[in-house]
Amino acid sequence: MQEEKVEGKKRSNIQLGQFVEIVQKQDQQSGELTDGIVKRILTNSSSHPHGIKVMLDTGEVGRVKWAYLD
């Protein structure tokens, strides 16, 4: 089964408990992705050109590159 993924630039695409891939601050140049489950949404605006900032359940913080839909 192929899961659908959407870009993480719109806050409406991201929910608590959702599986996402983020780029952490220290990985911005390399573009390395970290995956996890959204614990908190830190960006208040409805969209952000670099991705919505979230905190994962592991405590890692970064901007969402991809959000996976069920």
For 18-59, how does the pLDDT look when each residue is reduced to its tens digit (9 = 90+)?
A: 999 999 999 999 999 999 999 999 999 999 999 999 999 999
- Which residue range forms the structural domain that includes residue 34? 4-65
Give me the residue label for tokens 């959204």. Answer: 38
Q: Name the domain count of the chain.
A: 1
Q: Is residue 22 part of a domain?
A: yes
Q: Is residue 28 part of a domain?
A: yes
Q: Is residue 31 part of a domain?
A: yes
Q: Is residue 14 part of a domain?
A: yes
Q: At residue 2, does pLDDT exceed 60?
A: no
Q: At residue 13, does pLDDT exceed 60?
A: yes
Q: Is residue 70 part of a domain?
A: no
Q: Is residue 48 part of a domain?
A: yes
Q: Is residue 53 part of a domain?
A: yes
